[in-house]
Amino acid sequence: MSQLSRDKKKRRAQRKRKNESGNGNHSNVVPLFGSATRHLAPKAFESWLRAEVFPDDEEAVTHIGAYAFIVLDAIEQVNPGFDPLSWTADDVDAMVSMLNHIDSNQGQDAKPLAIAIETMRRYLMETGMWLGTESVSAYAAEQFALAAGLEFQTTTIEEVDEATERGALLETRPLRRVTELLDWLGPHRPTTQSRWLKPADARDLARRLDIDFPAHVKSMSNVASLHDLWEFAQALDIVEANTSSARPGRAAHLWREEPRIDVLRVGLIAWVRSGFPREYNPDIDFSSSVIGVVVSGLGDSPLSIAEIDAWVPKLGLSEFFVEAIHRRLELYIDEGWLTLEGDRYVVPVALRPAVVSALPLPGPPQD
């Protein structure tokens, strides 16, 4: 069984150095009144929301404003020295724990609260009121984005019958193509000085794999699908290429006839992993957003097209950015390791053991 865990203890252990640097921001004086409303004016926050985030949605302004101060006031009760203008990593963890508690134990949706507190963080940053460190702000952005819809919740991957998993793995486009490439390669094929197949052979391979090879293109290096497949096959030692020829690599025998299930699984893991950065970026960026959708598709609450589209007003993302996310997800669907069930992005059950192992885990900011 594979498992992803986002518990507080793990987060704290992973970012010990950031905790040490962030804890110095706490005051030792316990305020007599709520520090959130003492340092932050609710009306000013609402005015900013109205002008910058929800210009045509007064209901959203009211709710987001109220929710943000609910979170801040709750954290002040837990951490009496809490400074609403200078959060520490411990403060962020307390906020996330609160959101998780609401989701898990109270049966309520904590996403509106997560969106509200992330919007408050943006407000503090964009208005110059933030007095904490940039690394803690980035860490908070990561955690709140996950809680708002990209959450790496504890996800248990069910055991899959080996025959079912094998069939599903072999049906994915990357593994199907790499086995066809090996069959086509034979004992050897001529290559160029740059270690690519000679044009005639490259075109023949493209026809075999049903890959479009435009007439004006001279090298397979300029055909994305062939380029990626060729690099992938070499990375797995399925193919070995030099400046004169390409031949089966050291691992080629593992892929002939009936490849072992672990070989196929490693193959898909390598392919999926190659499309993501080696380390999870704590900012709300393209890769982290795509990874979040995939992770949601591993569990019981996969994100829908509509929910992702809602990131434009809720998280302040651009329509172009969200459309790019959908295009990348469509590529994964074409590759066969992601599907659309209704309008929700879902990782097929039989492929989850491989996909979950391929994803970079989110982590704290590092020096």
Q: Are residues 110 and 230 in the same domain?
A: no
- Given a contact cutoff of 8 angstroms between Cβ atoms, the answer to whether 192 and 241 are in contact is no
pLDDT surpasses 70 at 151? no
Same-domain check for residues 39 and 115: yes
Query: Phi then psi for 365, rounded to 5 degrees?
Result: -65, 140
**Averaged pLDDT for residues 215-240:** 95
pLDDT of residue 146 exceeding 50, the answer is: yes
Last residue of a domain, one of 155, 183, 214: 155
Average pLDDT over residues 274-286: 63
297's CB contacts (< 8 A; 6+ apart) are: 303, 338, 344, 345, 346, 347
Would you say residue 251 has pLDDT above 90?
yes
Do residues 191 and 317 share a domain? no
The Cα-based distances of 142 to 34, 150, 234, 273, 283 in angstroms read 26, 9, 35, 20, 6
- pLDDT tens sequence across 323-341: 999 999 999 999 999 999 9
**Do the domain assignments include residue 365?**
no
Residue 268 in domain: no
- Work out the number of other CB atoms within 10 angstroms of the CB of residue 23: 13
Do 233 and 346 have their domain in common?
A: no
**Per-chain mean pLDDT for the chain:** 81
Whether 149 shows a pLDDT value over 80: the answer reads: no
**SS3 for 268?**
helix
Full domain range(s) for residue 9: 3-155
Asked if pLDDT for residue 285 goes beyond 90, the answer is: no
Q: Tell me, what's the pLDDT at 104?
A: 67
What residues pair up with 246 in beta bridges, in sequence order?
189, 241
Task: Judge if 131 and 174 occupy the same domain.
Answer: no
What is the band of 31 on the pLDDT scale with cuts at 50, 70, 90? very low
Task: Read off the tokens for 48.
Answer: 């900013």
Which domain-ending residue is among 155, 171, 206? 155
Q: What is the DSSP letter of 238?
A: S
Q: At 182, is the pLDDT very low, low, confident or very high (cuts 50, 70, 90)?
A: very high
Say yes or no: 132 and 20 in one domain: yes
Q: How many domains does the chain have?
A: 3
Q: Considering the domain boundaries, does residue 69 fall inside one?
A: yes
For residues 114 and 169, state if they share a domain: no
pLDDT at residue 40 above 60? yes
In this structure, are strands 239-241 and 339-341 parallel, antiparallel, or unpaired? unpaired
Helix axes 286-296, 134-145, angle to 10 degrees: 30
The answer to whether 336 and 268 have CB atoms below 8 angstroms apart is no
CATH number of the domain to which 167 belongs: 1.10.10
Same domain, 90 and 51: yes
Res 6: pLDDT: 40
Based on the fold, state whether residues 150 and 189 are members of the same structural domain. no
Among 52-61, 172-181, 234-243, 357-366, the range scoring the smallest mean pLDDT is 357-366
Contact present, 175 and 267 (Cβ < 8 Å): yes
Q: Retrieve residue 207's tokens.
A: 């026809």
Structural domain includes residue 133: yes
Compare 142 and 322 and report the one with higher pLDDT.
322
Task: Let me know whether 149 and 181 are in one domain.
Answer: no
The percentage of the chain sitting over the pLDDT mark of 70, rounded to a whole number, equals 80
Structural domain contains residue 101 = yes
> With pLDDT > 90 as the criterion, what percentage of the chain qualifies?
38
**C-alpha 241, offset from chain centre:** 33
* Chain segment 90-141, per-residue pLDDT in tens: 888 888 888 887 766 655 677 788 888 888 988 898 888 988 888 888 778 7
The pTM of the full predicted model, rounded to 2 decimals, is 0.60
251 and 296 part of one domain: no
Query: Is residue 176 domain-resident?
Result: yes
Residue carrying structure tokens 């080629």 = 252
Q: Which residue has the higher pLDDT, 146 or 226?
A: 226
Domain assignment present for 270: no
pLDDT at 99: 84
Asked whether residue 258 carries a pLDDT value surpassing 90, the answer given is no
CA angle 211, 212, 213 (to 5 degrees): 110
Q: Which of 224, 255, 286 is the last residue of a domain?
A: 255
In this prediction, residues 279-284 reach a mean pLDDT of 50
Q: Are residues 16 and 141 in the same domain?
A: yes
Q: Which residues are paired to 346 by β-bridges?
A: 339
User: Residue 95: exposed, middle, or buried by beta-carbon count in 10 A (0-12, 13-18, 19+)?
Assistant: buried
Decide if 105 is inside a domain: yes
Query: Which one has a higher pLDDT value, 292 or 150?
Result: 292
